[in-house]
A and B are shown apart, each in its own frame.
Chain A
Amino acid sequence: MRADPLETAKEAAVPALEMRGIGKRFPGVIALDGVDLALAPGKVHALMGENGAGKSTLIKILAGVYGKDTGTIRVGGRETEFRSPRDALRQGIKVVFQEIALISEFTVAENIFLEEYPRIAGGSIDWKRIRAEAAALFQRIGFDVDPAAKTGDLPVSQQQMVEIARALAHEARIVVMDEPTSSLTPKEVELLFVVIRRLTALGIAVVYVSHKLDEVFEIADEVTVLRDGRHISTKPIGAHTHDSLIHDMIGRRIDNLFPRVRRHSPGKAVLTVENLSTDAKLKGVSFEARAGEVLGFFGLMGAGRTELAKAIVGYDPIRSGTIRIDGTPLVPHDTRRAVGLGIGLLTEDRKTEGLMLELPVLQNMSLASLSAFAKAGFVDEGRERSAVQSFVDRFRVKTPGLGQAIKNLSGGNQQKVLLARWLMRGLKVIVVDEPTRGIDVGAKSEIFALIDQLAGEGLAVIMMTSEMPELLGLSDRIAVMAEGRITAVMPRDAATQEIILNAAIA
């Protein structure tokens, strides 16, 4: 928090941070291609772009999590290399990550001082000071979090506040916030903005990553837009209008991003959920999904979308309520029978719940329908192979062969394989949870087209999403969740961003 005003004044002419020509390549994807970013001390610099535009990668390079392949980084005019997060921290760069980066077994106070424990003479940790300073810090920024609570016991929104507070606990030159408001209430967002203004008054450069336009127009001084891993524009915020900013972010692709080809005529209800509750989150959720429609579920972080998805496919146990597929009740906590009845989940967490990373495309795609290729317990690999090949062709999965380990494919192609896993099995209801997370824009529209096509073929598609364009672009009906309940259900035509957000915050 403290910075020598004299020193910051001297440095005012020099950018606090300058990144030039940053390039980064992952197996199967070029994440960044010659990106520039310059931060002025005491200014808020918004970094914008769609998912997959390269914002997160750029921030992770800035935080020392990833090494860059090309380009230079200067801090306060001096060229430096970040080989590890430690290097970045030493240069005074604090990052508030989107994923919660806290030790859940530790208390809030301890997490705040994780990077550097205050010590008493003799080198022991000064627990008293940790408690006192953590309490003082929260009071100062007005966040209502108990510093003595075990971090893992707190709701996500409070953990996010702890993350933010942690970045402010130590002296910083640059504070990076990656979607810091994704689970905050409007009141908490206001508090955050007060904090940010106080930081800039001290000469600290703030990077603010968000795709919420209103927030950016309120807080930012400058905006840099990335698209598809490339630098598109850097302008003062005053030079932008809503439309020009959106145009920079999306380019011309908005027209064909959501290619609706089907003339939907939803049929009868295939999935009926009544009064579903779980110990963890859900409270009396009831809805139905009809054949041939996309039912979009929107909610802020922690609203219970993923929990709902996992409960209705029989993965997680439920406390009460019923789930019926075509009238047949589904036995809770039994995925085998659920799949048998024709409901499956395309998970939001591909790596830990979807992919068998080390195994080839073939095995990954045929997993759910393997028994269909088996006779007397023996797998007919010829049939399996030709079925998989036909899906690879149809979905245009880019892979050098069916034997390629799936970890070497790009996110979009991995997602296509996982979608094919279910289509090959033949479902009545498919639940897709954040179907385009971590997928670049080019592949996104292909995934959208596939989802659209599924509904066209008569499947009931339930789509969990936190992306407003995705929700509005694909859904036939929209359900909004907040705190484990459904707060609103509406046809697409009756929905606006405002109505949806109001229902999500309620």
Chain B
Amino acid sequence: MPQSPSLAASAPPPLFRLFVGRSEFALLVALLVIIAFFSLASGTFLTVRNMTNVLGQASLAMTAGIGVAIVFISGEVDVSVGSLVAAVAIPLVTIMNMTESLALGVAGALALGLVVGAVNGYLAAYAGINSLIVTLGTLFILRGGVYLYTGQTAIPDDAMLESFFQIGNGRILDVLPIPAAIAFVLLLVFAYVLRHRPFGRQVYAVGGSPEVARLAGYDVRRIKFTCFIISALLATVAGILLASRLGSAVHVAGLGFEFQVVAAVVLGGVSLSGGVGSLFGMALGVLILSFLSNGLGMLDLATEWQLVITGFIIIAAVGFDEVKRQRR
């Protein structure tokens, strides 16, 4: 978890603990090992083009992962993001087709995201329904709704706005994919919020011990509610980026995306039981899985291997983490 800056200030802990105690360090090493391995194994892996491509691909999970991580830190779960990324594309593309305005389309998408987040948050935080059930429910409802609305086909983007194309496919200075830049900025913003705004600390406190948080005068339910809204809005952003890359609102977009994101978040050291984890770790989790899948693809290993290896890595990483925690 992010040590508050006070750690650095007085009485720095031994070098050993500063690194080994932080799971992010292990993740960083893992990421570098993966990159080094594939660079040696494949000539085309360590190129600017490929690296930036991976960053572009990773940006969707990264964006949605921020929100899911925040919900996890608050002690709840959100698995509705997989359907939400597909659902928000519908108002986005439909409105753009009608009005030729990207801004209105994005507003429509965000509005839908806000409603979904509010429903998830209300049912989980205020009505007190287990958040896994709530968000599984919305996962079903949204996917079914998308199928119903689209009649199981994609809605093409007829407006063909250049700006819409650019947000998913453009590159800054012809190098850095715009989605990666967006994800990076969001990551910085929310990492700042979690470390340096009272709200961020309250999210950790609520996840760490709801009872203590209540005694400290926090409105536990409102904080959790807000986390669900944030998660839904960030999934909406991911959905907009995805729609731009696909050039349409695709009904099957994001199938299984929720599992990818949850896997990355957990791999990144964010605990399911709440109160522990950092966005930096989450980002490393996403990058590890993305580079792994890209590298395995380069080695002409069947894409299926990626799933298998990812699965084992999650078990190994989380298991290692848990066993380590038991020791202490």
Interface residues of A (CB under 8 A from B): 63, 65, 84-86, 89-90, 95, 97, 101-107, 109-110, 114-115, 117, 119, 123-125, 127, 130-131, 135, 146-148
Alpha-carbon distance A135/B1, docked complex (angstroms): 23
Contact residues in B for A127 (Cβ distance below 8 Å): 4-6, 196
Q: List 12 A-B contacts (CB under 8 A).
A: A86-B218, A101-B209, A102-B212, A103-B213, A104-B208, A105-B275, A106-B4, A106-B204, A109-B6, A114-B216, A115-B216, A131-B9
| Residues 208-223 of B contacting A (Cβ, < 8 Å) | 208-209, 211-219
Contact residues in A for B213 (Cβ distance below 8 Å): 103
Q: Check B10 against A135 for contact (C-beta < 8 Å).
A: yes
Quick check: is B47 within 8 A (CB to CB) of the other chain? no
Residues A107 and B6 in contact in the complex (CB < 8 Å), given A86-B219, A125-B201: yes
Q: What's the minimum C-beta distance from A416 to chain B, rounded to whole angstroms?
A: 28
Closest residue of B by beta carbon distance from A95: B215
Residues A125 and B196 in contact in the complex (CB < 8 Å), given A85-B216, A105-B1, A148-B10: yes
| Residue from the list B3, B211, B214 in contact with A107, Cβ < 8 A | B3
Contact residues in B for A135 (Cβ distance below 8 Å): 10
Closest residue of B by beta carbon distance from A166: B216
Alpha-carbon distance A124/B194, docked complex (angstroms): 11
| Residue from the list B196, B205, B214 in contact with A106, Cβ < 8 A | B205
Q: Check B4 against A110 for contact (C-beta < 8 Å).
A: yes
Contact residues in B for A106 (Cβ distance below 8 Å): 4, 201, 204-205, 208
Q: Check A125 against B197 for contact (C-beta < 8 Å).
A: yes
Closest residue of B by beta carbon distance from A87: B217
Q: What's the minimum C-beta distance from B22 to chain A, rounded to whole angstroms?
A: 12
Interface size class of B (residues with CB under 8 A): 20 to 34
Q: Check B7 against A147 for contact (C-beta < 8 Å).
A: no
Q: Check B197 against A85 for contact (C-beta < 8 Å).
A: no
Quick check: is B11 within 8 A (CB to CB) of the other chain? yes
Closest residue of A by beta carbon distance from B208: A103
11 extra A-B contacts, CB within 8 A, seeds A89-B217, A106-B201: A65-B214, A84-B219, A85-B217, A86-B218, A105-B208, A106-B204, A114-B212, A115-B216, A124-B197, A127-B4, A131-B10
- Interface of A, secondary structure class, is loop
Alpha-carbon distance A110/B5, docked complex (angstroms): 10
Quick check: is B276 within 8 A (CB to CB) of the other chain? yes
Alpha-carbon distance A90/B218, docked complex (angstroms): 12
Interface residues of B (CB under 8 A from A): 1, 3-7, 9-11, 195-198, 201, 204-205, 208-209, 211-219, 275-276
Residues A97 and B11 in contact in the complex (CB < 8 Å), given A106-B204, A125-B201: no
Alpha-carbon distance A269/B219, docked complex (angstroms): 55
Contact residues in B for A123 (Cβ distance below 8 Å): 197
Alpha-carbon distance A86/B215, docked complex (angstroms): 7
Q: Check A148 against B215 for contact (C-beta < 8 Å).
A: no
Contact residues in A for B201 (Cβ distance below 8 Å): 106, 110, 114, 117, 125
Q: Check B6 against A63 for contact (C-beta < 8 Å).
A: no
Alpha-carbon distance A90/B219, docked complex (angstroms): 13
Closest residue of A by beta carbon distance from B21: A150
Q: Check A103 against B205 for contact (C-beta < 8 Å).
A: yes
Contact residues in B for A105 (Cβ distance below 8 Å): 1, 204, 208, 275-276
| Residue from the list B5, B11, B205, B219 in contact with A114, Cβ < 8 A | B205
Alpha-carbon distance A109/B7, docked complex (angstroms): 10
Alpha-carbon distance A110/B216, docked complex (angstroms): 12
Q: Check B4 against A97 for contact (C-beta < 8 Å).
A: no
Residues A130 and B214 in contact in the complex (CB < 8 Å), given A106-B205, A123-B197, A125-B201: no
Q: Check A148 against B7 for contact (C-beta < 8 Å).
A: yes
Q: Check B6 against A147 for contact (C-beta < 8 Å).
A: yes
Q: What's the minimum C-beta distance from B133 to chain A, rounded to whole angstroms?
A: 18
Q: Check A103 against B217 for contact (C-beta < 8 Å).
A: no
| Residue from the list B1, B6, B215, B275 in contact with A101, Cβ < 8 A | B215
Alpha-carbon distance A119/B201, docked complex (angstroms): 13
Q: Check A101 against B217 for contact (C-beta < 8 Å).
A: no
Contact residues in A for B7 (Cβ distance below 8 Å): 107, 148
Contact residues in B for A104 (Cβ distance below 8 Å): 208-209
Q: What's the minimum C-beta distance from A406 to chain B, rounded to whole angstroms?
A: 22
Contact residues in B for A65 (Cβ distance below 8 Å): 214-215
Alpha-carbon distance A84/B216, docked complex (angstroms): 10
